[in-house]
Amino acid sequence: MDCKLIYFLTLLSLGFIVNMSLLRCDFRDPKFKIYYVEGQRLYNQYCSNCHSITGNGLGQLYPPLIKSDYMAANINKVFCLMKYGISDSIKVNGVVYNRTMFGVPSLTELEIAEIATYIYNSWGNEKGYVDVSTVSKAMKDCNAKN
Amino acid sequence: MYNQIRKIYNSLILVAVLSQLSCEFKPKKLPIFGSRTFNGVDTVYHKIAPFQFLDQDSSIITNDTFKDKIYVTDFFFTSCRTICPIMKREMLRVYESTRKMPEVVILSHTIDPEYDTVALLHDFAQKLGVESQKWHFVTGAKDSIYKIAQTSYFATAIQDSSEPDGFIHSGLFLLIDKKGRIRGKYDGTKEADVNQLISDIKILRLEDGL
């Protein structure tokens, strides 16, 4: 009987700890959640046709965003290509992709930050919230090049 | 009197159950689309008109290529950013699910033949990772492609510069039987529709006793 009671109490407290940590995650940064949700909407609208809802891409036509070494190493380029597109060939996880990607010129810096927050925190990516000032700074460089 | 009513009632139930069972065991048949006429002897069904295109290997593709083949067909173009990538992702599922059925092949027509050359289609197919014997990507005279889309397959394909990518086209997938008749139409952008297509291919194969 005692044993059962201890077991029950342990389970209860474990559940409590897990719950609290989840809650903390959600409330850690309300901005993160807003960016993420809006980013998901924009991603599904502008990017998912080619890169797929699940971030898997398609063959060697459209690169994956799920576990992408290119994305991890080139976040500033990723901000730029969302808006301006990219025609240079790139290597993602050892595979060369050389088809032109058209950008979405209408994207604002806020929208780019939202999409980045979504893609850098989905499908196993856990970079954390990408804020507008980071994007603004990076965009000045790509503006100069384009 | 009561017994008689019961007997009648029971036999009615039996008939109902039997008819239900016979319905369920009757093999499902796919419809035949398009107009039909009667030539005095037989019903003549709508058939895909004669065509001749070039595929990604520069092979000439005609109706003869699909003699004794079941094929799934669609209309797309490689530079399209709207529904085509979704269609190709879905068609890839059809490709994978029919890999072990040599009599089932796929025919994708470009509706932008000026841009989608044989070389470009070859590159596209290679990057999609598909074999040209199983999945033909064809190009040809623009008029012939548009005409066969509209009059044979009843699919929409129109050039329109006001559209984001320059064309209006439907995401239709069509299932064609060994006699060149349309046996199914599906929305190639919807997973559930493509699942239906994949199971309809199995039903169509049963017609040939496969």
Strand B104-110 and strand B70-76: the pairing is parallel
CATH of the domain at A131: 1.10.760.10
**CA–CA gap between residue A122 and residue B129 (Å, rounded):** 26
Q: Does A96 touch chain B (CB under 8 A)?
A: no
B185/A27: higher pLDDT? B185
pTM: 0.80
B107 has which bridge partners?
B73, B136
Q: What is the pLDDT along chain A (146 residues), one digit of tens a residue?
A: 566 666 666 666 666 555 555 544 445 688 899 999 999 999 999 999 999 999 999 999 999 999 999 999 999 999 999 999 999 999 999 999 999 999 999 999 999 999 999 999 999 999 999 999 999 999 998 854 44
For residue B185, what pLDDT is reported?
95
The minimal CB distance from A50 to the residues B85, B126, B129 is found for B85
**CA–CA gap between residue B71 and residue B182 (Å, rounded):** 10
Q: Does A60 touch chain B (CB under 8 A)?
A: yes
Query: Between A and B, how many CB-CB pairs are < 8 A?
Result: 30
Range of the domain at A22: 3-145
Q: Which amino acid, residue B104? A: V
Q: Concatenate the DSSP letters of all residues of B166-204 into one string.
A: SEEE--EEEEE-TTS-EEEEEETT-HHHHHHHHHHHHHH
Interchain CB distance below 8 Å, B127 and A59: yes
Residues of B in contact with A53 (CB under 8 A): none
Residue B183 predicted with pLDDT over 70:
yes
- Domains: count for chain A: 1
Provide the 3-class DSSP secondary structure of residue A101.
strand
**Numbered residues of chain B with Cβ closer than 8 Å to any chain A Cβ:** 81-83, 85-86, 88-89, 92, 124, 126-129
- Report the residue count for chain B: 210
- For A50, nearest residue in chain B (alpha carbons): B85
Residues of B in contact with A58 (CB under 8 A): 85, 88-89, 92, 128
Count of alpha carbons within 13 angstroms of residue B189, beta-carbon side? 16
What's the pLDDT band for B28 if we cut at 50, 70, 90? confident
**CA–CA gap between residue B149 and residue B147 (Å, rounded):** 5
If phi over 0 gives left and psi between -120 and 50 gives alpha, with beta otherwise, what is residue B34? left
**CA–CA gap between residue B4 and residue B9 (Å, rounded):** 8
What b/e string do you get for B159-175 counting C-beta neighbours within 10 Å, with b at 16 or more?
eeeeeebebebbbbbbb
- Does the complex come out with an ipTM higher than 0.95? no
